[in-house]
Amino acid sequence: MSDLENELRRHFGYRSFRPYQKEVVESVLAESDTIAFLPTGMGKSLCYQLPAKLMTGLTIVVSPLVSLMEDQVIQLRSKGEKNAAHLSSLLSNEERRFVLKHLNRWSLLFVSPEMLSQQWLVKKLAARKVSLFVVDEAHCISQWGHEFRTDYLRLADVRKSLGQPVCLALTATATQEVEEDIVSKMHMVRPERFRAPVNRGNIFLQVHTCENEYEKQREFVKYLQGFAQPAICYAGTRQDAEDYAHLAAKTGGLRTAYYHGGVSKEDRIMIQQQFLNDELDMICATNAFGMGIDKSDIRTIIHLYLPQSVEQYLQETGRAGRDGGQSAAKMIVAGDDVRLSLRMLQRDLPDSRIIASIFPGGLYHRPFWNETAELAGLEDIYHRMLHFYLEQAGALKEGKWDYTVQTEEIKERLLERFRRRRFEKERQYKKMQEFLNKDTCIRALIRDYFNEEPESQLSLCCNVCHPNSQVDAKMNAGSFQTDSAPVNGSGSWRNMLQTILRQSEET
Amino acid sequence: MKSAERLLLAAIQSAGAERSLNGVKHILKGKRSAQTIQDVRFFQCERITASLKDAPEVNIESIVSALKERGCIRSGPADTHHLTAEGVRYFQELEDDVPFPATYHGMPYEWHSAANGFWQRLRLLIQTLGNLQYDIRFFQPVSYDYTVQRDVKTVLNHSSYSKDQQSRQLYQEVESVLTRFSDQEAEIFVRRLTSAFSAGKTYTQLAAEKGKDELYIHFLHRGIIHEMIQLSAKESESFPLLKRLVPAIPNQTSVTETAAKTHEYIKAGKMLREIAATRGLKLSTIEDHVVEIALHDDAFDPADYITNEVITMAANKAADLGTSRLKTIKENLPDGITYFQIRLALAIKSGRS
Ligand SMILES: [Zn+2]
């Protein structure tokens, strides 16, 4: 066993690396900038968790998914790790002060990009030796990526302020355009590149198009007969998530829960734990769910909406079958769903009407940016995005409009930028719509999109190649969950409470 | 749905005829503003105050329009509402179907989120002791909140008793409170708990099982929590562990952070308009702050904004008319007295009575 494998075992208790992990870790330890494309579930986080243990300085991980960072820190802590922390909007002031006050204690620090855009924090971090700068979900840095975030554009500067530590960029899926964009935007020097194939052979891909909602529900109910569990079912709206959870419980007799942004945090944590404990057969969720879930035996992913890009589809379906067992991804969509996704996609960017209204001469324009934004009723995401661009273009200084610059010109540039970005998103969405064509192998479409080589023939490829197949519960016999033991004991509430706190009868 | 309707009917019955729907909403959501605190006192609706603050989401607008459609409430001027005869009847019906727990008291326990803080600590303590009792050392805590984790750790570590003795004590305290409730209520409480074997059930799941709505289960659960806090204060020697789980409650008289900032500027001699411009806020927001400060701070001198004469006049007029409806008061006062001044006058009178 090599030294690295010994360290892996010592710190994490694993006997061997998963594909690409060792190469990535070695590259980082050799102080090379590294970019790695590892599909969801391939153990991305280990690629920085292990170096954080072995390098002398601090490892900073930037991720846009604040709840995912929080989940990771909680999971690490629950395994006895005491040197990991996170800084994000989810912390109270008191917690944030605590994390900052004990900065020297952490070897692994997760930070949200919004936090890193604050100069004082960067200064504080720069006072420590930073060994590794990790950009998670690195596709967010690219205009060509499917979820571009303006805050990510500042990361190259932040890295420079921290003394240009080794940079590790991680993402699940990205085209070559995006790859080049990441390398150049992060100023990476001759990076080592690792790319795992995005096609996961153990997931049977199915797409079913329906005429209308009624037919969609029928197909859903039909599919539940004998399908493999546990499952995540992604819905396009909160209401759909609730309705389909209800439908699955009623017609399939499944233990279900729904999960979306409107569910309280308390319940979201409980539902995650129920799912991990096998107390649930299916979770119906908006796409907020699943990223932080460390569950390897998810058997089925159902899509009730059309993802906005092939990347998003792969990210979500990739949550199935991480244990290597036969799994399935089933999409059931109707014509309305195609339009719904398009509408949501268009709403991601402010339209020209909004832009015109905030610039000088516009209805909502005021000398202060905050006032302008409030009057225009800008959603948080628009607010941050426009603030970033306007500041970068010099139209805003310290929260006030600067009338000495050519705002008209800046407005035109901004409109053009959003127009291009919208066009790009629509192009990505069209690629996804090709999945509905019914005559081309779905894997072939994915391979084509990512320029990958064909793999060997699969016995369960997709519903174009294998139209009459279904992955059912029996295929993974043994791992199949039978009815769980009575939870929290049984009988009266007194008995249950006794079981929970391990009290005997006579107390 | 039914519980939300019941709550809205109760709130509208108390305050709806004099306050806009927004004002009613602020009472239920426990908005920390001078106006809301005044309203709660004036309408004596302490029991349901802040009942939707830490609760499952309720779409108040859609509940109100459903009630309108049923003919239970009718709208008056300025978005006020009152119960119709049918409304009174339906309210009665709901009282039987989804009663509000007798032990529930919003103002003392929900306004400052004491109940939520207590519950988070209690469920984490039970989860922790429950796991330790089965020799499980590492598990995912039910609460991610750092202060909750810290407080529970303090309770566990600063005790001369063994974990086993603590578990027994906790069992006895919880059991003795639950005994005061029906078996069904106690069962709901216990099944919500997270143990070494089970994550527990959410309100939604329990509601589906019982054929009730989520909010009903939530209120029922909170009724038990409120009772626990109250008992642990009243009979503290019988509930030493529960008593230590009651979170420290912020000083009742403290104003919001943003109002405090405005107060600093005022003390520095700034005009309200200047403060608004410097802070990039609306003048009306700054005026809200002044009202809030006046309500909380007896030493605050309002002379820059209002004369003693106007204060007395406005307050007396409100008393004469038996209303705190600003529009009515303004109509019965000489011209030139602003809404801001009337609110300020009412705040000063109610804060210092
Ligand atoms: Zn195929």
Contact B198 A74 (CB under 8 A): no
Residue A126's contacts (CB-CB under 8 Å, 6 or more residues apart) are: A161, A162, A163
Coil, strand, or helix at residue A214?
helix
Whether A166 and A172 have beta carbons less than 8 Å apart is answered as no
Contact A493 B170 (CB under 8 A): no
* B145–A contact, CB cutoff 8 A: yes
Among candidates B172, B198, B203 on the partner chain, residue whose Cβ is nearest the Cβ of A487 = B198
pLDDT for residue B253 is more than 70: no
Query: For the segment B326-348, what is each residue's pLDDT rounded down to a tens digit?
Result: 888 888 888 888 889 888 888 88
* B197–A contact, CB cutoff 8 A: yes
Please report, for chain B, the start and end positions of each structural domain, with discontinuous segments joined by +. Answer: 2-100, 114-244, 257-351
What residue in A sits closest to B54 (Cα-Cα)?
A264
Q: Which two tokens stand for residue B213?
A: 């709505």
Query: For the segment A368-427, what is each residue's pLDDT rounded down to a tens digit?
Result: 898 899 888 888 778 888 988 898 888 998 888 999 988 899 999 999 988 988 898 899
Longest CA span, chain A: 82
B335 burial level (CB within 10 Å; 0-12, 13-18, 19+): exposed
Q: Label residue B349 by pLDDT band (50, 70, 90).
A: confident
Ligand 1 centroid from CA A180, angstroms: 29
Residues of A in contact with B138 (CB under 8 A): 78-80
Longest CA span, chain B: 75
What residue in B sits closest to A95 (Cα-Cα)?
B146
Contact A78 B139 (CB under 8 A): yes
Ligand 1 centroid from CA A21, angstroms: 29
Please report, for chain A, the start and end positions of each structural domain, with discontinuous segments joined by +. Answer: 3-196+500-506
Whether A386 and A358 have beta carbons less than 8 Å apart is answered as yes
B336 burial level (CB within 10 Å; 0-12, 13-18, 19+): exposed
> Is it true that the peptide bond before A350 is cis, omega within 30 degrees of 0?
no
Taking the CA atoms of residue A272, residue A67, residue A316 and residue A259 in that order, the dihedral angle to the nearest 10 degrees is: 40
Q: Give the model's pLDDT for residue A1.
A: 59
Q: What is the CATH number of domain A3-196+500-506?
A: 3.40.50.300
Contact A274 B280 (CB under 8 A): no
Contact B194 A70 (CB under 8 A): no
Closest CA to B295 of B328, B238, B235, B252: B252
Tally of CA atoms within 13 A in the half-sphere of A320 that contains its CB: 31
- Arithmetic mean of pLDDT over chain A: 88
Whether B107 and B46 have beta carbons less than 8 Å apart is answered as yes
Q: Give the model's pLDDT for residue A479.
A: 47
Which tops the pLDDT comparison, A141 or B227? B227
Find the DSSP H helices in chain B.
Answer: 2-11, 21-29, 34-43, 60-69, 85-97, 106-110, 114-133, 146-157, 163-178, 183-191, 203-210, 214-234, 240-244, 257-267, 272-279, 283-296, 308-321, 326-331, 339-351
- The CA distance from B39 to B229, in Å, is 26
Contact B147 A95 (CB under 8 A): yes
Ligand 1 centroid from CA A43, angstroms: 26
DSSP A490: S
- The CA distance from A461 to A442, in Å, is 8
Which tops the pLDDT comparison, A332 or A90? A332
Residues of A in contact with B171 (CB under 8 A): 497-498, 501, 503, 507
pLDDT for residue A182 is more than 70: yes
Residues at Cβ < 5 Å from ligand 1 ion: A 441, 443, 461-462, 465
A93 burial level (CB within 10 Å; 0-12, 13-18, 19+): exposed
Ligand 1 centroid from CA A457, angstroms: 9
Coil, strand, or helix at residue B323?
coil
| Residue A506 distance to chain B (closest CA, Å) | 11
Taking the CA atoms of residue B116, residue B119, residue B124 and residue B129 in that order, the dihedral angle to the nearest 10 degrees is: 160
Ligand 1 centroid from CA A290, angstroms: 26
**pLDDT-above-70 percentage for chain A:** 94
Contact A274 B199 (CB under 8 A): yes
Q: How many other C-beta atoms lie within 10 A of the C-beta of residue A195?
A: 16
Contact A279 B198 (CB under 8 A): yes
- Arithmetic mean of pLDDT over chain B: 90
pLDDT for residue B204 is more than 50: yes
Q: Which two tokens stand for residue A117?
A: 């855009």
Query: For the segment A299-308, what is each residue's pLDDT rounded down to a tens digit?
Result: 999 999 999 9
Q: Give the model's pLDDT for residue B4.
A: 96
What residue in B sits closest to A256 (Cα-Cα)?
B205
Beta bridge partners of A58: A130
Coil, strand, or helix at residue A326?
coil
Coil, strand, or helix at residue A2?
coil
Ligand 1 centroid from CA A308, angstroms: 21
Q: What is the CATH number of domain B2-100?
A: 1.10.10
CB < 8 Å from A in window 225-284 of B: 280-282
- The CA distance from A255 to A275, in Å, is 10
Distances (CA, A) of B246 to B122, B225, B278: 9, 10, 40
* B183–A contact, CB cutoff 8 A: yes
Q: Give the model's pLDDT for residue A482.
A: 45
Contact B199 A273 (CB under 8 A): yes
| Residue B318 distance to chain A (closest CA, Å) | 34
pLDDT for residue B180 is more than 80: yes
DSSP of A145-174, one letter per residue? STT--GGGGGHHHHHHHTT--EEEEEES--
- The CA distance from A308 to A432, in Å, is 7
Q: Which amino acid is at B21?
A: L
Distances (CA, A) of A140 to A63, A181, A317, A391, A423: 9, 10, 19, 20, 17
Query: For the segment A3-48, what is each residue's pLDDT rounded down to a tens digit?
Result: 899 999 998 888 889 889 999 999 999 999 999 998 766 788 999 9
Per-residue burial over A201-237, b = 16 or more CB atoms within 10 Å of its CB, e = otherwise: bbbbbbbbbbeeeeebbebbeebbeebbbbbbbbbbe
pTM: 0.80
Query: For the segment A188-222, what is each residue's pLDDT rounded down to a tens digit?
Result: 999 999 988 888 889 999 999 999 999 999 999 99
- The CA distance from B166 to B125, in Å, is 10
Q: Where are the beta strands (DSSP E) in A14-118?
A: 34-37, 58-62, 84-87, 108-111
- Indicate the angle between helix axes B339-351 and B34-43, nearest 10 degrees: 60
Ligand 1 centroid from CA A236, angstroms: 26
Q: Give the model's pLDDT for residue B238.
A: 94
Ligand 1 centroid from CA A205, angstroms: 8
Q: Give the model's pLDDT for residue A484.
A: 47
DSSP B16: I
Q: Give the model's pLDDT for residue B251.
A: 54
Ligand 1 centroid from CA A199, angstroms: 11
Residues of B in contact with A279 (CB under 8 A): 198-199
Task: Identify from A500, A504, A505 which residue to disrupt to test chain B contact, counting B C-beta atoms within 10 A and taking the largest count.
Answer: A500
Q: Which two tokens stand for residue A220?
A: 């859903």
What residue in A sits closest to B150 (Cα-Cα)?
A95
- Indicate the angle between helix axes B339-351 and B283-296, nearest 10 degrees: 20
* B168–A contact, CB cutoff 8 A: yes
Which tops the pLDDT comparison, A504 or A170? A170
Contact B197 A488 (CB under 8 A): yes
Query: For the segment B205-234, what is each residue's pLDDT rounded down to a tens digit?
Result: 999 888 899 999 999 999 999 999 999 999
